């Protein structure tokens, strides 16, 4: 996201709104002011957004205050997250909003940071020593922002309670898979009244049948990626996704865009294969959605649960929302230091990540409001423009 002069002009009032919303969650003045200084530091052009540099940006000679903010100061990261969700809903919410579930890796040195281990990181594209954060992003036509977060704690960490206690992991934390963490966050968003039309996510989440069944029970439509060998019910039998695709006729493919990318519309060929089920209501669609690359013919697969009258273009656009969470991660790491923390403790991770999510949401909302204001100004100018001669 390019930060232009218009955005800078909007920051003064916008940050005042953020400060007012956050103030109720800090009893004491010192951490209240320091939390805003932390967010402002994350929004600044400081090259490395760690405790020392954020402290210097705030005019403090030492990082102790910023470190206290992330460790021992009295405030609830979950309450501040709930406030963030309300802010995102009020500014970006739309009835057909999409929740996107995904995870990102935080590369680390050593073995003491909560949940760190050698594990696969999509960020690194390999097995690396890292922490994994599971996130839920919210997307609408107005913009996209990270809505919730959970630190994935591997089972071997929880089996070693002494190590877990040293990293500040609460005693009541039990092992949960990434899809289970995602379900908790989706459920929380629904309980908080987040306007929700769809859920989408990659194969880690689409391949979890329990998550899919739970979403169906909640009557939440989804377009979730699955692996090619995912077994899917079709009538009274299960068939692999890559076997089902062979039944799509040549005329059954449509060339559609799933959204704009850096080089323009993301065009693919798309095919839809209904998956009828026994006693399936007539107003419900279960289907396999297939995306085919125009360059090399590579296939990607999605399981669909949606109203029966949903147009193919809508399903395609929802599938394309998966890229938005990756854009959120890239922007959050490049612009607001999502991955630049130097804390090892459970509490510190959640506090830094939550404040970074606030900084990202502020950027998104400021940009959305500026775009809307410019569009309204342009429309008003067109209305007031005299008709051209001879027309």
Say whether pLDDT at 177 is over 70. yes
How much of the chain exceeds pLDDT 70, in percent?
A: 95
Please indicate whether residue 258 or residue 9 has the higher confidence score (pLDDT). Answer: 258
Res. 390 pLDDT band, cuts 50 70 90: very low
Q: Which pLDDT tens digit goes with each residue over 227-264?
A: 999 999 988 889 999 999 999 999 999 999 998 877 88
Confidence at residue 130, expressed as pLDDT on a 0 to 100 scale: 97
- Is the predicted pLDDT of residue 73 greater than 80, yes or no? yes
Domain ranges, residue 123: 5-25+76-374
What is the domain count for the chain? 1
pLDDT in tens, 256-312: 999 887 788 999 999 999 998 877 888 999 999 999 999 999 999 999 999 999 999
Residue 370: the pLDDT is: 86
Confidence at 369, pLDDT banded by 50, 70, 90: confident
pLDDT bucket at 374, cuts 50 / 70 / 90: confident
Per-residue pLDDT of 116-146, as tens digits, reads 999 999 888 899 999 999 999 999 999 999 9
Instruction: Confirm whether 70 is domain-assigned.
Output: no
Burial class (CB in 10 A: 0-12, 13-18, 19+), 269: middle
On whether the CB atoms of residues 200 and 102 are closer than 8 A, the answer is no
Q: Decide if 100 is inside a domain.
A: yes
Q: How confident is the model at residue 195 (pLDDT cuts 50, 70, 90)?
A: very high
In the predicted model, is pLDDT for residue 391 greater than 60? Answer: no
CATH code of residue 330: 3.90.350.10
**64 domain-assigned:** no
pLDDT at 221 over 60: yes
* 202 pLDDT tier (thresholds 50, 70, 90): very high
Has residue 296 been placed in a domain?
Answer: yes
In a domain, 293, yes or no: yes
Could you tell me which residues come within 8 angstroms of residue 286 by beta carbon, excluding any fewer than 6 positions away?
233, 274, 275, 276, 277, 280, 303, 304, 305
Count how many residues are written for the chain: 391
| Structural domain includes residue 44 | no
What pLDDT band is residue 388 in, cutting at 50, 70 and 90?
A: very low
User: What are 116's two structure tokens?
Assistant: 């760190």
What pTM does this model have?
0.92
Supply the pLDDT for residue 384. 65
How would residue 389 be classed by pLDDT, with cut points 50, 70 and 90? very low
pLDDT at 105: 96
Report yes or no on 67 lying in a domain.
no
In a domain, 105, yes or no: yes
SS (H, E, C) the chain: CCCCHHHHHHHHHHHHHHHHHHHCCCCCHHHHHHHHHHHHHHHCCCCCCCHHHHHHHCCCCCCHHHHHHHHCCCCCHHHHHHHHHHHHHHHHCCCCCEEEEEEEEEECCCCCCCCCEEEEECCCCEEEEEEEEEEEEEEECCEEEEEEEEEECCHHHHHCHHHHHHCCCCCCCCCCCHHHHHHHHHHHHHHCCCCCCEEEECHHHHCCHHHHHHHHHCCCCEEEEECCCCEEEEECEEEEHHHHHHHCCHHHEEEEEEEEECCEEEEEEEEEEECCECCCCCCEEEEEEEEECCCCCCEEEEEEEEECCCCHHHHHHHHHCHHHHHHHHHHHHHHCCCCCCCCCCHHHHHHHHHHHHHHHHHHHHHHHHHHHHHHHHHHHHHHHCCCCCCC
Q: Is the pLDDT of residue 107 over 80?
A: yes
Q: Which of 356, 370, 316, 334 is nearest to 145 (CA)?
A: 356
pLDDT above 80: residue 382: no
38-72 pLDDT, tens digit per residue, is 999 999 999 899 889 999 999 998 999 999 999 99
The Cα 47–Cα 54 span in angstroms is 10
Give the C-alpha distances (Å, rounded to integers) separating 363 from 21, 123, 172: 16, 23, 35
Q: Is-contact 245 288, C-beta < 8 A?
A: yes
CA-to-CA distance for 321 and 316, rounded, in angstroms? 9
Q: Tell me the HSE value of 182 on the side-chain side, using a 13 A CA sphere.
A: 29
């Amino acid at each position: 996201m390019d930060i232009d002069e218009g955005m800078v002009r909007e920051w003064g009032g916008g940050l005042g709104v953020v400060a007012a919303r956050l103030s109720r969650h800090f009893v004491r003045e010192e951490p209240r002011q320091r939390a805003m200084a932390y967010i402002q530091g994350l929004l600044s052009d400081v090259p490395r957004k760690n405790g020392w540099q954020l402290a210097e940006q705030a005019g403090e000679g030492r990082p102790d205050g910023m470190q206290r903010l992330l460790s021992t100061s009295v405030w609830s990261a979950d309450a501040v997250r709930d406030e963030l969700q309300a802010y995102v809903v009020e500014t970006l919410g739309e009835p057909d909003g999409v929740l996107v579930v995904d995870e990102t890796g935080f590369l680390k040195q050593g073995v003491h940071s909560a949940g760190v281990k050698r594990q696969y990181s999509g960020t690194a594209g390999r097995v690396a020593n890292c922490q994994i954060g599971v996130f839920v992003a919210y997307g609408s036509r107005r913009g996209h922002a990270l809505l919730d977060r959970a630190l994935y704690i591997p089972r071997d960490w929880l089996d070693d309670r002494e190590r877990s206690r040293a990293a500040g992991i609460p005693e009541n934390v039990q092992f949960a898979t990434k899809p289970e963490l995602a379900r908790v966050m989706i459920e929380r968003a629904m309980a908080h009244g987040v306007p929700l039309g769809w859920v989408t996510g990659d194969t880690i989440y689409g391949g979890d049948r329990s998550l899919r069944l739970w979403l169906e029970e909640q009557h939440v439509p989804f377009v979730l990626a699955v692996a090619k060998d995912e077994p899917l019910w079709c009538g009274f039998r299960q068939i692999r996704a890559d076997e089902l695709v062979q039944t799509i006729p040549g005329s059954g493919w449509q060339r559609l865009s799933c959204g704009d990318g850096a080089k323009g519309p993301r065009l693919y060929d798309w095919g839809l294969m209904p998956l009828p089920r026994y006693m399936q209501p007539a107003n419900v669609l279960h289907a396999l959605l297939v995306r085919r690359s125009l360059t090399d013919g590579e296939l990607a697969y999605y399981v669909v649960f949606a109203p029966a009258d949903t147009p193919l273009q809508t399903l395609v656009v929802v599938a394309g929302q998966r890229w938005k969470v990756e854009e959120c991660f890239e922007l959050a790491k490049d612009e607001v230091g999502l991955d630049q923390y130097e804390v090892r403790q459970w509490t510190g991770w959640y506090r830094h990540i939550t404040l970074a999510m606030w900084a990202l949401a502020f950027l998104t909302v400021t940009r959305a409001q500026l775009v809307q204001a410019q569009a309204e100004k342009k429309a008003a100018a067109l209305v007031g423009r005299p008709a051209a001669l001879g027309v």
